[in-house]
Structure formats: structure tokens, C-alpha cells
Amino acid sequence: MAALDFMSSGGIPTVALTSAGTVKEARFEHVWVEAWIDYFPSRGARHKIGQGDTWIPLDPSYKQYAYTKGLDLQANVPFDAETFIEQLTTSATIDEAQGYATGVDSLLVQQTMTDYQSQVETYIDQQYPNGSVGDLLGKREIIAEDYPYLLGTPPYKTVVRGGAYAILSDDLRHRLTFTVQKDALDSAPLIFTKSLPELAGKKITLSYTPATSGDEAVIESYLPSPHADGTAIHLEELPASLPAYLINVEPELRIDGQVVATGRPVTLGANEIFTMGFASPWIPEDRVENSITAGAYHAVALDLGRITQEQGQNLKARLESTKAKLEVQNFEDLTKDELIGDLLYTTALMYHAELSVMKQIAAKTGKVASVTWPSETIFKTDLLVDTLFGLPRSVSAGGMAMDADRIASIGGCQGSCRLC
């Protein structure tokens, strides 16, 4: 029942089939794809492009795994939890009726954890000097089956066949809608909607650009002129602030560096509302709303279940390419999305990657199942705005900030499931 509840919480229609009060089978809805294949007589081993005679199901989601058990650290490097708790309770004041504790010795906690970490590291270095993360924590590997032809049937029993679609309708898709508006009464906001598969693995940035050539000219007039001797311009020569009231900017939403939506002009330094609406086929839209400063740079990283190694490698290659261009002062073809967007996006995405690893370790340690729902994190630059009677007067560079607005997952343990 715990497994069935876990599947249901993930949006999979599931029914338990019982006999004499015992669950014997599970019936659930499943989606797969079919391809129009040149199946006869080679069973797909030889396929002529543009020709076909049979719809063949293709479903790699059912597979067998080879499991490797990790180290039992508690057995090999025991931790005396009882003594540790006794030491903490001796120095702390605990009110069980009110449910709080004060005076906990934080130095004791830190020292105990440091000592135990050192013991674990020493044990691993001595016993498994060349061990991988999978060897230490346990791992699973797909048992690959390579056939010279297509089997022609799925690896499960189909009880009832539902609808078949060439293209899924919007009500059957997970979607994400981006909105940037001045306020709730803005009649012409920036709006852009895509299905989550179309956004998977792509860099999303929201930045601002001068609204007109006149606004661009104002900004350029505050920048230092190139040195006559060709030497580089130093940071201290750049303006400490810009007159916000003289400059209008407009928001630009980019996907992998390409502008996909543009908003209306607004004064540099003004407040706007940035909303992301997550919609799924069975749950009402979940809206994430942020107040942003016109002129700031935002990178949005999505975690749609897993951050792949390929994503990290591609980002690393892009950053190294940009670094190489800067080192030889090759500024041609470099865009702000490569200089700033990639750095911000990498930070936001690696946050998801690190969090995913930590959740996997925690789930394995706690012997629970955990699945990540569509999640997002923003990493941004910000502006310091000086106002006069509530209107932006000047702006200067601020710091950087991380905003993990939506970190969602489903966890199942001992017959219970929860959405976090």
C-alpha cells in the first residue's frame, strides 16, 4: 500500500487489486510512445526512411537493475548517539511541555561531528582508498539488453488501451508561465508559456535592455572613453551610479540566449512583479511571485527530476570558451548572456545538483523513496536604488542573491507520503 500511495502522490492513477484482503496486483495508467516502423520482414532491424507498416511500442521505462550495497558505516565506524544525547541534555534546558530546548552546547555538537567525520574519512582512506561514491554509498546500474530487432510488444500486460495522441493537448502537459508586470493592474505584461519538456535542460534568464537608442546613448555618455594609448579601462573609471530617472529599460526573457518575450518600457530601478506559474494536469497552478528591480539580472534554473552530468559539462565548456575569449581580449560575438547569464545560471543549477545528491543520500540513509517535482531557483544580481518621493533617482551595483522559491518533492516512508 505504501508503494501504491507513493505512485498516486506522484500523479499516477493507481488501483490496488485485492484478494481475501491482500493486495495481489496493482493496476495503473501508463504512457508510452509508438513509432511507425518498417517492421516486416526484418522486425525493424532494417528500416527504410519514410516507409512503415506497423505501429511498434517503444518503452524503455521498464528495466532491471543490478544493485551494489554500500558500506555499513554504523557497523564499521560506530557512533555513540546515546552518550552524545546525554551530554547535550546535561547542559541544556529542556521544556517537554512547551516543546523547546535552550542552552544547547553548539561547540559540543560541532566538535562531535568533526571528530566523527575524521573517523569516517580515516576508515575510508584505509579500507577503500580508490572507492567511488557508488562503492561507498551503494549504487544501481541498468542491466542493458541489446536486441538486434524490435520486440514488438511492451514488457507488461495491457488491460485496457486508452487514447492515442499525435500531440498531447495542453491540459495533459506540465507547463510553466513567466509573467513580468508593473503591478496587478498592468494590462500588457510580458507573458510567455512553454511546456516543461521544452524548457528541460535550458538556461532561462530575465534581464533588461535600454528601451530606445536614446536610453542607450544616456548610458554610454556615463562610460569612460577608450584610452588613446589602447590600454585597458580600469574598474575605478566606471561610474559608481547611473541617473535612473533619465533611463528607460524593458525586460527581456531569454531561453538559451535567445529572446523569446519582451515587456513594456519602465524606469531603471523601478519595481516590477516577476511571476512563475507551474501548472500540471491534476493540480491547480502553483504561482511563485517575486518583486524585482528593473535593471537587475536573473537566471532561473529548473530541476525537473534530475540534473544530468551532460548539463554540467556543457556549462563548463561554455564558461571555458568565454574565459578564453576574454583572456585574448576577443570581445566580438560575446553577449551579456554569455558573460553574466552563464555565471548566474551555473550557480543556480549547481545548487539543484548538490541538493539532489544530498537528498539521494538522505533518502538512502533513511530508507525512503523520494521523487523531485518541478522545482526552480533564481540566482541574481541586484541594484541599490536611491529614490526621491518614491521615484528612482539613481542606481548603483548591489550584491548577488539566491532565491530558492520552489523546491518540491514527494517522499514515501512506512506507508505515508508527503509533498514538501
Q: DSSP letters along 157-192, please?
A: --S------SS--GGGS-EEEEEEESSTT-SS-EEE
Are the C-beta atoms of residues 395 and 268 closer than 8 Å to each other?
yes
Which of these three, 122, 140, 158, is where a domain ends? 140
What's the pLDDT at 413?
53
Instruction: Give 263-278 pLDDT, tens digit per residue.
Output: 999 999 999 999 999 9
Grid coordinates in use for 136? 561507498
Q: How far apart are CA 219 and CA 289, in angstroms?
A: 30
- What contacts 358, CB < 8 A, 6 or more positions away? none
- 197 and 293 assigned to the same domain: yes
- 260 and 356 assigned to the same domain: yes
Q: How far apart are CA 345 and CA 318, in angstroms?
A: 12
- 270 and 177 assigned to the same domain: yes
Q: Which of 21, 26, 24 is nearest to 7 (CA)?
A: 26
Q: DSSP letters along 275-326, please?
A: EEEEE-SSS--EEEEEEEETT--EEEEEESS---HHHHHHHHHHHHHHHHHH
Q: Which domain holds residue 12?
A: 2-50
- 315 and 344 assigned to the same domain: yes
Are the C-beta atoms of residues 260 and 306 closer than 8 Å to each other?
no
CA torsion angle for 358, 364, 366, 372 (degrees, to 10)?
60
Are the C-beta atoms of residues 344 and 390 closer than 8 Å to each other?
no
Report yes or no on 342 lying in a domain. yes
Q: How far apart are CA 256 and CA 204, in angstroms?
A: 6
**Total residue count of the chain as it appears in this document:** 420
- 322 and 287 assigned to the same domain: yes
- 128 and 254 assigned to the same domain: no
Report yes or no on 123 lying in a domain. yes
- What contacts 101, CB < 8 A, 6 or more positions away? 92, 93, 94, 95
- 83 and 186 assigned to the same domain: no
- 101 and 176 assigned to the same domain: no
Q: Kindly give the parts of the chain with pLDDT less than 50.
A: 414-420
- 269 and 304 assigned to the same domain: yes
Q: How far apart are CA 366 and CA 368, in angstroms?
A: 6
Quote the longest CA-to-CA distance of the chain.
Answer: 91
- 111 and 214 assigned to the same domain: no
- What contacts 148, CB < 8 A, 6 or more positions away? 45
Q: How far apart are CA 92 and CA 69, in angstroms?
A: 39
Q: Which of 57, 15, 21 is nearest to 36 (CA)?
A: 57
**What sign does the dihedral 41-44-46-48 (CA atoms) show?**
positive
Structural domains of the chain, count: 3
What's the pLDDT at 253?
97
Which residue bears the cell 532491471? 64
Q: How far apart are CA 263 and CA 183, in angstroms?
A: 13
Report yes or no on 359 lying in a domain. yes
Q: Which of 373, 176, 195 is nearest to 276 (CA)?
A: 176
